[in-house]
Chain A
């Protein structure tokens, strides 16, 4: 045999072997990482047919409100037939969703947990021997029964949506959408609900999927861009309002043609002066405004785990005057969902940081032991702390001296913004309110929209008032 031309061959093989072992360690670590952290979200996917087969061995668990009241449960009759029951009928219709005819809302979100059983070993063995199905885990939501009920009642027969959430945690306390449906009679009503001639859209969760013109609530965005472009003197902006602002052939009217008179920036925001903000819009860098809107999560995915629509903001450089006048006051092509408006408000309330909204607080086994606990998670900063503080101040002025008078009270301090969004010349405007309280240390954020409700200050703000009152009386 010839001599080895590479005397270090063994050493080199050893190095390569180490490399390959390292590769495998990486592979195994990735595998473990996938199972530990990602697999829950991955497998809870409607395309994963495997979950359905879980139901053969597990009775679907309960969904509960934050104080432990049952809001969805599976009843098993003597013959082992199962039926899903919702004790509060349509109260939680959209947010909790349904689990027949597909799955929506929390029923879809927590499908995996509800169909997984963590009853103790002994009981499992016992159930097995007596061929009884194991009881699935229960899901405790962040939803507050009282607030949900109050929001539901306050909206009454009107169409619209209410979102109540905690800005410092992201917990959603209430989510109502109207018109609604009764999940208990879903199967019987199904054909009617999905019929082509039915245009009411009862199945649509307007809180997360309803796209509305933001109206004057968008002035928060316009104001933020103005502040960013004029950091030292943004407060110096003034405008004289006679109720109708004319620019060439275009006119922008204030709500009901109210003449606000001489307005500084703060007053214009508080009184929601359309002329002042349309005129202000003309001075702004349109790409800057688009960037700011994008940073506030327009046109982007929301950190939200139930079905939602993306808000859209399209105006960019080169837009014509009319488009600028309209867009600056939240009309035009801009569209937003109530949950997104709540999230922007929450970021302002929370020093610029958005906490990811969430609906499931914990998963418990049937004995009440916590199987999995969900913690608040930060999404990131939508704006700086200074910007959020300044916006809070302006939004506070809306309540103390402007359109948010319905929320004036000594009991607590509210900061907010009203909106009356035009969507059809022949119809009443949509009434908006977004706000949070207390201003000093925000605990709760509310976003309300009442379709064709007229003025935000008169229709939406009182609903928010009812909910704030309830929240702070608890």
Chain B
């Protein structure tokens, strides 16, 4: 049973790492600020979820489990708020978006 949990934890950790790498690749590869933010979105949602689940399987039932649950909850609430603040600031600073932008600079 213990080894099953350890293997499942390992699988989740690897999935999380792959997604974090993808997020990092996207941040470097995509053309502008706004599109790069979407790549970072992968790191802060599903990648964070996989890493936290892997850690939960590692620490087992107890106070650590609930702390991880809280961390997940707070990441899911604060990261979109931070992304929105960044996007709004960039828009406010009239940073042009690459691609289809019918009202560039008007807001």
Whether A associates with B in a native complex is no
Residues of A within 8 A of B (CB): none
Residues of B within 8 A of A (CB): none
